[in-house]
Structure 1
């Protein structure tokens, strides 16, 4: 039940009138202030709203697009936490006030009143911690209730971590199948990356910031409002109806509030921009003149996305050669460019008022701005792809998803970390064909891949459907070798009755000494020891009684042994890398073990190039059988040529050419997005010239000898280095089979999943295949005999299930109360369960039996 509080207002003729006035004043259009009961600004605001509605009905072009990026605001973590803190703080004050009121209303108080006693300790801390740990964001005052607001930063790869920090998550359910919010918006240009979005359900909803995007924060409004009035904005109070509707006077809106009208809107906008470029007002204030709506929009609120552009006067860039020389010498910084009015930040709306040239050569006299660099159109992850503008667009999106799963270095302190799961490449390299983004984000220092010499040819038949043939000698030298680190934890728990766990010395001889061989004398696994599955990590004992009266000393018989075992892959030998001791927040002693496993590539491990060309290792071939070039170069891997035609990843071919030229002449070549006119991407002609100069064919093809026959092959083979990434999906983690094993107690069917040693499910589609094939007995065996067979007693008269009486050695029907017409039959247990559940709902399924 909610109690409605009655407000009392002085001067109101009746209570209802007063309440209506309050609603109009404080609730209706709360953003428009009412000063001294002057409702005129609110009336004008409503009139403008009605006019917009009528305009939208009469003219479909005037409709606002809710997916337009200029209409969106991004909430940053700081804003959300400040909102949460404000709510927790005000809730705490309300509770304190209530507690104080309760104490002070008591007529007789024996103790001295202490205000500090009423403050609930740590309530704000617990509220913040709860939100950060669960992700449930509750604001009681506004009834905001959103889930999944916090995410754990993924540290599987350096670039995945960096990409996670630029992610934008919508407040939109991803289950709804709508195309509008998922479509690529034209207004996204330069602000949000067009490539980097996940596949599947959240496709197009989760976006990522582009390379130079800035998200604004709130600025103080009052100085800007007074500045607008100084620059000739006339308040609506002083204007007559005729003056309001003169054709050239524009409405001025500031952060959604109407300030007034201006007679010369373009002049006003130019003055505001001049002040912004001079640094007199904030650099993120945007001024946008909307000719269709006869409005000037000024925005200084937080959450808008904006990006820097070079200012051009009549098509001539303000940034000159000497500025760039000062920048290279370190005399000038990016902020100096901003303060000197050479560069400015534009948001999506203001971009509509400007004409932006992609390259300086393309600028005309109407051009107002020039792009700093076209490669900043893409985000951090898409910036790793060389020549992305030569690829089919979905391939770049696939690479954005796979770049996060590539193994490599994650940080400079990676060997001192204790992550729950860590994948490291043993010999990561920087790509031979690099891009400007790679150097800007530091991927060349913390790479996630290796430059492999690739031959594009058919070989062995184990390379169909994107499978890769690998050279055994390359794997022996360390190609694709990785380290898998996993952390295991144990806690030395303290209990209420003054008892605690204990750790014992290992038993060196005896029947259970085998699993304890890795333990040190302190009962913990020793670093450097080789550990196998089911070996004991910590020899721990737990008191049997942990509640009740206090105990001082416990006898050995009052403990039970609960050793923690290592549950790694069968038959693999891993190493205890590190053992760390620390204390948790309840002051219990905590043990952490880091187990290291070095893995070399095997058949079934997943690899991918930087162009969305993923494939598994199909077979590993001895180097003697591998083809080789006339220079004696043997490829590391062989890729099937059928991966190119339908995928149209021309960027991969240019990467091979550029890498080959780079190796032969000793210079890193570049392949930045749209970089050919600006000199940030090498042209194919220039690469071919280098190749010819170094004695190769201009098209990257080589004369190849067969490793099996020793004769030259009948065709020239396209061969050169391509940067390949090893992905985290490895056969060792996925491989799973089962003969018999655990079952679910409810349905008596086998469990599901590798972790629970589950069965392999024959689903509906597999069942359809077996029916079409006519393999009825196989189907009967798979669906019942191997799953959940159950023997039931069925009454032939009433068709209900009975039971078996072991004393009388006969089946009895519960409803007929006799055992004359009972038949025994086999049934899946899940079917018997369904029949009984339906009976509990008063639905009676009856079984009609026929003679077999």
Structure 2
């Protein structure tokens, strides 16, 4: 500790004198993640020590006193202390560790199953401990060290902006590795023990740190670092141990602790590897979740990737797995600190430069540009794929590199609110609230990320034919005009599922709640209106439509529950469970079960089918959100020479200021794909080229940019301008006007505006 303190003081003095630069407190190499295992173990340790101390207090008070019987430890234990406290902490999200004076709120959150993407996005979320109310730009800004580890687009708006982030596609979080074997290996490789030295600082030596602690001094740091990396690539060291040097501090840092970001790089990989390798990586991501980031890269040697076309063929045929690439030393994980020691090529184009110049004689090599020489001599790794810099939500956007960056951020938030499918078991679930799209479709323009996360199997949206034109005044400010015939055929139709519970309890005096049959009308002998939906057993029938104030379960409770009942029969009071919503619902299913407390549970799943109406919110995948402004009969909609009417009309003023060129490219790609009968790709930093899409359109007799000559459905005349028309993937968001509508007769008003108070 004295040596460490001295080193820190020396570094402060050198910084003050101007020899060293001040460290960046927001640098991601210095950050560590706290994950579920570590937080629960910390809480358990605190509770276990509290449990022991309470038992010790009782024993100290009881044992010295004279007793008739022997002291029974089990009788004095608070047996439910640990489990009850853990349950309270996890259910409330409030983490209270008294020994460390740690009090945090919102540590646990309920996983929302609004859509497949919202669940996936929530599982890759990272929350900073920084205070949200403070308006400081430093911790919120995009850090260069975040490259490839955290998604640059996926962060919420508002006070949590920049503090809540999401993992990039290939990021892993390291787990703790035992320090002792690593320390022994370092001593064997020539590190001199710090306790044996008379002088730490010498011109030729570097100080070696292991997980932040001073281990010793090494005379040949380059040999030490290269040997450790070679051993890691050949499987003699753990994949997640990182080694890096800092020439300014004259130190070698070896890290084996958890909570670092790490990513993998190929010692040069080809693009074909991507789909297979990435899939393995994503599935791996759930197993090792402890504390720090890492990422895989392909290894490059002498300007050439170690992964060859033969390796890729073996990968495609299933003869190799991602683990085989790691063991063979073709791919390795790097964390943020070690990336500073590496020269990473973004794509194979940079490596082609290497291969072109590597065998040239020195005179010709000297004529090459400085950048090419640097690449030639120093390229150590290759990115597996540039699109893996983005996260799960941003990866769904087609052509995101053609959009203004805030639009991608907006889509990351709205993609989580889009209705679709939540899983193959969605018809078996009884959730509190579940939104499902009736006819979800896979997007015509997709990305490699969509394939990797299986979004096309659980989609959340529909391909709508949109026309970019002004139609009436009801499309201003991003409002959409919908085709009534499309809505009738099922465009944007959704199902809203809610559940209602009824618990039938058993009481101490042997009485219990019971379900009564429906009450009958005296004249007609039919169930009264409130009991119209009930079956003979007093529980609502599946498939029946219920209206507001109708009874779902005709429950009755005993009046006396505490006092033991005498010979007379107990008297009951009706406490029925009724349907309260203003809009009628259909009973999907009824589940009757029992729980641990000798009570029965009845769950009723209610279904509403909703079609789009004025005020419902829609959004494209480019952050272009808008509400429905008008629903027009198909006879009044414009049509092209093939008789195709658009499903949606969008105002063209939504494009210039938003600069969402990606949406225009998506329309061209979708149109070309629909004509050809194939999917096109709009993957980030790549995707199908505009020239190729234009060629497909012209080959099939369409305008090369996707414009059509439309005829007005009202006047029957052709428009004077060509209209941009084609399919675009639109998402229906959960914000529907039925849920927002609120009205009342009398009540409190705001003083300033004299309007009814909010809510």
Asked if TM exceeds 0.5, the reply is: yes
Instruction: Specify the alignment match of 2:270 in structure 1.
Output: none
Answering whether residue 745 of structure 2 is matched by residue 714 of structure 1, we say no
> In angstroms, what is the RMSD of aligned CA positions?
1.7
- Per-residue CA deviations over 1:256-301 (Å, capped at 9, x if unaligned) read 1000111111211111111111111110101110011111111000
- What does 1:602-681 correspond to in 2, within 5 Å? 602-675=613-686, 681=687
Structure with bigger gyration radius:
1
Q: Look up the match of 1:825.
A: none
| Alignment-derived partner of residue 52 in structure 1 | 11
Which residue matches 1:561? Answer: 574
Which residue of structure 2 lines up, in the alignment, with residue 406 of structure 1? 418
Residues 148-195 of structure 1: CA distance to partner in whole angstroms, max 9, x if unpaired?
111000110110000000000111221111111111111111000000
Alignment partner, residue 433 of structure 1? 445
Match of residue 332, structure 1, among 300, 313, 320: 320
Q: In structure 1, how many angstroms separate the alpha carbons of the residues matched to 2:531 and 2:567? A: 27
From 493, 497, 503, the equivalent of 2:505 is 493
CA distance in 2 between partners of 1:624 and 1:402 (Å): 33
Alignment of 1:718-797 (within 5 A): 718-740=724-746, 750=748, 761-762=749-750, 764=752, 767=753, 782=754
In 1, the alpha carbon distance for the partners of 2:569 and 2:635 equals: 67
Is the deviation greater in 463-472 or in 94-103? 94-103
Task: Name the structure 2 match of 1:91.
Answer: 50
Structure-2 separation of matches of 1:82 and 1:173:
25
Q: Is the 8 A contact 1:498 1:552 kept in 2?
A: no
Partner Cα distance (1:762, 1:132) in 2: 39
Cα distance in 2 for residues equivalent to 1:275 and 1:554: 84
Partner residue in 2 for 1:106:
65
Partners of 1:725 and 1:552 lie apart in 2 by: 63
Cα distance in 2 between the residues matched to 1:501 and 1:44: 72
Cross-structure match for 1:550: 564
Q: Runs of 5+ in structure 1 lacking a partner? A: 1-41, 676-680, 742-749, 751-760, 768-781, 788-852
1:709-759 Cα distance to aligned partner (Å, 9 max, x none): 222111111100000000000011011111125xxxxxxxx3xxxxxxxxx
For residue 258 of structure 1, the aligned residue among 206, 214, 233 is 214
Q: Is the 8 A contact 2:11 2:20 kept in 1?
A: no
Q: CA deviation at 1:563?
A: 1.5
How far off is 1:400 after superposition? 0.4
Matched, 1:695 2:701: yes
How far apart are residue 517 of structure 1 and its match? 0.2
Specify the alignment match of 2:145 in structure 1. 187
Identify which range, 77-86 or 682-691, moves more after superposition: 77-86
CA distance in 2, matches of 1:387, 1:587: 57
Deviates more, 1:281-290 or 1:77-86: 77-86
If asked which structure has higher relative contact order (CA below 8 Å, sep 6+), I would say: 2
C-alpha deviation, 1:762, in angstroms: 4.3
What are the equivalent positions in structure 2 for 1:322-361 lying under 5 Å apart? Answer: 322-361=310-349
Question: For the structure 1 residues 224 and 491, does the alpha-carbon distance in structure 2 shift closer, same or farther, using more than 3 Å as the test?
Answer: same
- The aligned runs of 1:58-97 (5 Å cut-off) are 58-59=17-18, 62-97=21-56
Q: Could you list the per-position Cα deviations for residues 406-460 of structure 1 after superposition, in whole angstroms to 9, with x for gaps in the alignment?
A: 0000011001001000000000000000000001001000000000001101112
Work out the CA distance in 2 between the residues paired with 1:763 and 1:717. Answer: 50
Taking the TM superposition and a 5 Å limit, the aligned residue runs for 1:113-262 are 113-241=71-199, 244-262=200-218
TM-score by length of 2: 0.90
Q: CA deviation at 1:499?
A: 2.8
Change (3 A) 1:250 1:497: same
SS of the equivalent of 1:704 reads coil
Alpha-carbon distance in structure 2 between the residues aligned to 1:463 and 1:187: 43
Match of 1:62, SS?
Answer: coil
CA distance in 1, matches of 2:110, 2:75: 37
Cα distance change on mapping 1:481 and 1:593 into 2, 3 Å:
same
Structure 2: tracts of 5 or more residues without a match: 263-294, 352-374
Q: 1:246 to 1:51 in 2, by over 3 A?
A: same
Contact 2:207/2:250 (<8 A) preserved: yes
Evaluate the alpha carbon distance shift between residue 499 and residue 98 of structure 1 in structure 2; reply closer, same or farther with a 3 A threshold. same
- In 2, Cα distance between the equivalents of 1:565 and 1:421? 18
Contact 2:402 2:661 in 1 (8 A): yes
Contact map agreement 2:89 2:95 (CA 8 A) in 1: yes
Work out which of the residue numbers 447, 453, 457 in structure 1 matches 2:459.
447
Name which of 471, 483, 489 aligns with 1:459: 471
SS at match of 2:185: helix
The TM-score normalised by the length of structure 1 is 0.80
> What is the distance in 2 between the residues matched to 1:77 and 1:605?
38
Aligned residue pairs, count: 698
Per-residue Cα deviation, 1:544-573 (whole angstroms, up to 9, x for no partner): 3333x21156657x322222211112xx33
Equivalent position SS for 2:531 = coil
Q: Could you tell me which residue of structure 2 aligns to residue 821 of structure 1? A: none
Contact 2:396–2:450, Cα closer than 8 Å, also in 1 = yes
The alignment partner of 1:49 has SS state of helix
Q: Distance in 2 between matches of 1:545 and 1:172?
A: 53
Instruction: Detail structure 1 runs of 4+ shifted over 6 Å in the superposition.
Output: none
Given that residues 427 and 478 in structure 1 are in contact (C-alpha distance below 8 angstroms), is that contact kept between their aligned partners in structure 2? yes
Distance 1:554 1:70, change over 3 A: farther
Q: State the shift of 1:119 in Å.
A: 3.3
Q: Does 2:243 correspond to 1:287?
A: yes
Residue 286 of structure 2 corresponds to none
**Alignment partners' CA distance in 1, 2:196 and 2:739:** 75
1:305 to 261, 285, 296: 261
